[in-house]
Amino acid sequence: MYIITEELRKILKKPFGKVYKELPDISGKVVAIGDITTKNLLFKGIIPHLSIFDLKTRRNIPVSINHRFRKVFEVRNPPGCISDQAMEMIKYLSKVEEGNTALKVDGEEDLLALPVIKYFPYGTYVLYGQPDIGVVVLKIDEDLKKKVERIFSMMIKK
């Protein structure tokens, strides 16, 4: 299990990339992190390759996602952590060709963008919400993977 430190918490509060009020044109493999991001993409007719959510927003407000995913996996991931189970599942899902898959998280999904960036191939788009601002759109490249490796090296490994 990886646990974030207070120092990392401050670093991770800042968006990793550009924040958009409106979703820009994107084409290719998309991974959506978060309930609202997933709902907004589906509403716009964009079906993510992988959607990661916990069916809550703002930690405790219930969210329903009315979409038939091809397959739904479940993992446990405590707040402020990245569980070994979540890491392994994301690693596995990064190799699955079929899209329209969901990963339902018991706990918190916010940090799971990090293993997505670590394991998914170059060129994959990773989208996550920045509360009250918009959506962050990242395209995985070598620089982003290196940044994520540095973050993992700063985490507490248990």
Which residues contribute to the annotated binding site for GTP? 35-36, 54, 56, 109, 132
Angle, helix 142-154 to helix 6-13, in steps of 10 degrees = 150
What are the DSSP calls for 59-90, one per residue? TTEE-------SEEEEEEE-TTEE-HHHHHHH
- Which residues line the annotated binding site? 35-36, 54, 56, 109, 132
Q: How far apart are CA 110 and CA 47, in angstroms?
A: 20
Q: Are 88 and 63 in contact (CB under 8 A)?
A: no
Helix H or strand E segment including 119: helix 113-119
